[in-house]
Amino acid sequence: MSNTYTKAAFVLTMSVEDAELIRSAEQAADILDTTSEADDLQTAYERLGECFATVFPATDARPFDSFLALFDDPAFRISMPTSPSAAPTTRVIAR
């Protein structure tokens, strides 16, 4: 007998472009957790691509302000846990 239980299970059907945007958002969160220099942030923002820049346009003050507007507390660390046991299991499958 197993003691494994599913707490939540759901499927999100999305386009390849949507999956790319989610990956870019995850990368943006990592960038914001590890980078603080303005020039480095600008360069990292530009590397995220056109899709990210279209949805989260850069502002005059800082390139990631429109992305950080998603969160109630933009100063809160938004990265995923690094421990595999602490991280939720997410699988993105592009069709």
25 falls in which pLDDT band (50, 70, 90)?
Answer: very high
Give all strands (DSSP E) within the chain, no chain letters: none
Prediction pTM value: 0.65
Per-residue pLDDT of 33-43, as tens digits, reads 888 788 888 99
- Closest C-alpha to 62, from 27, 86, 36, 24: 36
Place of tokens 């530009």: 46
Q: Supply φ then ψ for residue 40, to 5 degrees.
A: -65, -40
Taking only Cα atoms into account, the Rg of the chain, rounded to an integer number of angstroms, comes to: 16
CB 33 within 8 Å of CB 78: yes
- Is residue 92 scored above 60 in pLDDT? no
Confidence of residue 77 (pLDDT cuts 50, 70, 90): low
In which band, very low, low, confident or very high, does the pLDDT at 80 lie, cut at 50, 70 and 90? very low
